[in-house]
Amino acid sequence: MNSTVIHASRILTPDDEITDGVIVVEGGQITGLGHRDEMRLPPGAFDYVATGMTVVPGFVDVHIHGAGGHDFMEATPRTLDRITAAVARHGTTSLVATTVSAPIDETCRSLKGIARYIRAHETIGDPADGVADDRGVAAEILGVHLEGPFISRVRRGVHPIDTLAAPSIETFQQLVAAADGLVKILTVAPELPGALELIAAAVEAKVVAAIGHTDATYEETRAAIRAGARHAVHFYNAMRPFTHRDPGVVGAILTDPEVTAEVIADLVHVAGPAIQVLMGTKGFDTVLLASDGIAATGMPDGDYRLGNFEVRVKDGVARNAEGKLAGSTLTLDRALRNVVGLGVPLVSALRMLTVLPARRLGVAGKKGIIAVGADADLVALTPDLRIAGVMTRGAGLA
């Protein structure tokens, strides 16, 4: 089997730091890792030399709607190829394809397309048979995040009001079946009737129950956490705001160490000091950096679709016809730079888009980490945290 040997001035796994390090990749996986002197490689053994650079795990995005001009709900092989290639250029090597509230039959059609694509690339890219994925450098779709329809009418953001639905285990199961069992995250507003039962059903189905698009009080959120909810979707955004007498959903999430909170760190959705409050309160181990990126990501300003409605992008900020924020054009490399710019140590910031999302998704050890046995998803960063090279499951970088 062909191997690729990478030499980097520094490797952040991210929990360990290896200076003058070597990574050996075979069949899409990391098969060797260590200091150059320990690896006993002949001179000229290196296929890729990242001098002056830091190699880190590829980024894992738990909330993304599209990129490169396309939305996941288009769900054709060609559009999914375009999205996964576009985000890989910014360091995202695996992601959870996120839907927007839409009529159930339309959502099911999208889910079927995404699931077919995931299954097709599972076999093509299977490191066990040593066949490289024919797409080249492209993020792996790990599954689906259902953002809606079981969300609050009051805090719906840009989700179309006529597509919202009361929590229903039956509808949830219909969506899970359409996605061939590949639903990874379900966003629910805890205050809706039936939400707690739905959260329990999601946990039972090994789906991460996430709190989002919600007007829940502190107590209603606590009940959702007791029922098994463990994640909060675009924290602060589309949530009942915090006040000192009514801490609400924000207060409940800030004070619970079991619940991870994703934040859109584009400095438009959430102001820098509010991100500092989040991290200062929860610590660095329960905050995830997610993009909430839409089709316009990596594209010029103009008109795009989000799910099945129109949004306009001006100066990189996406809004619907009423002027409400409609997802972002954020890429995770920029999120990393923004958070480091707020004073977060690089290793802590890296964890927020690698090991921590991987752990939340149940793929720790395989994604978001540089370790023997993990997928060869790698990013080479320049000293100013720009992307110098990307490898997805053994493809690329060189």
What is the CA 164 to chain-centroid distance, rounded?
A: 23
- The sign of the dihedral angle between the CA atoms of 383, 387, 388, 394 is positive
Give the CA count within 13 Å in the CB-facing half-sphere of 141: 32
Instruction: Give the separation between CA 105 and CA 101, rounded to whole angstroms.
Output: 11
Angle subtended by helix axes 169-178 and 195-204, to nearest 10 = 40
Residue 369 DSSP class: S
The amino acid present at 381, given as its one-letter code, is: L
Closest CA to 179 of 115, 105, 121, 118: 115
Closest CA to 331 of 139, 180, 190, 148: 139
The tokens describing 160, both together, are: 């179309």
CA 1 vs CA 5, 8, 28, 129, 130: distances in Å: 13, 23, 11, 10, 7
Ramachandran class of 178: left when φ > 0, alpha when ψ lies in -120 to 50, beta otherwise: alpha
Instruction: Give the separation between CA 213 and CA 113, rounded to whole angstroms.
Output: 26
The tokens describing 117, both together, are: 């694509």
Q: Which residue has the tokens 């909170």?
A: 261
- The sign of the dihedral angle between the CA atoms of 369, 50, 342, 271 is negative
> Which of helix, strand or coil describes residue 87?
helix
Asked if 292 is an active-site residue, the reply is: yes
Cβ count within 10 A of residue 1? 7
Which residue among 292, 333, 375, 377 is the active-site one? 292
What is the CA 298 to chain-centroid distance, rounded?
A: 16
The answer for residues whose C-beta is within 8 angstroms of residue 177's C-beta and 6 or more apart is none
Whether omega for the bond prior to residue 14 falls within 30 degrees of 0, making it cis, is: yes
Could you give the residue numbers annotated as active site? 292
